[in-house]
Amino acid sequence: AGTDRVVVVAIPLLGPTHRERYRLDAVVVVDCPVEIALERLVTDRAMDPADAKARMAAQLSREERLALADFVVDNSSTRQHLLAEVDRLWEWIAEAGRYHRG
C-alpha cells in the first residue's frame, strides 16, 4: 500500500483536545530534554534565555506532551541521529493501515 494519504499537521502548542479537533490518527512528538531545548533556543535562534524560558513555560510540559504521543522522535542528539529517527518514524507510519482511517 502507498503512503499518499499521509498528512502532517505541525501543532506548536499541542494540547489534549487536538487529536479530536483535527481527527488525528496519530500524534508524533519530537522530544529532547528541556535543557537541550533551552540551549538550542538560545544558541541556534539567538533568543534571550528569559524569553526562551517563557516560551517553553507557555507550552505543555515535556511529560504532558509525551503522554499524548503515539510515537516519539528522539531529537536529543546529532542531526544524523535525528535523520535515523525520521526513518524509524516513516517505517512506523507506513505499516499497513497505520495512516488510514478505515
**Alpha helices by DSSP H, 1-102:** 18-21, 34-44, 49-57, 62-68, 79-94
Give residue 5's pLDDT band: very low, low, confident or very high (50, 70, 90). Answer: confident
Check pLDDT > 70 for residue 100: no
Q: What is the pTM of this model?
A: 0.85
The answer to whether residues 101 and 83 touch, using CB atoms and an 8 Å cutoff, is: no
Check pLDDT > 80 for residue 101: no
Report the alpha-carbon distance of residue 15 to residue 68 in Å, rounded. 8
Give residue 50's pLDDT band: very low, low, confident or very high (50, 70, 90). Answer: very high
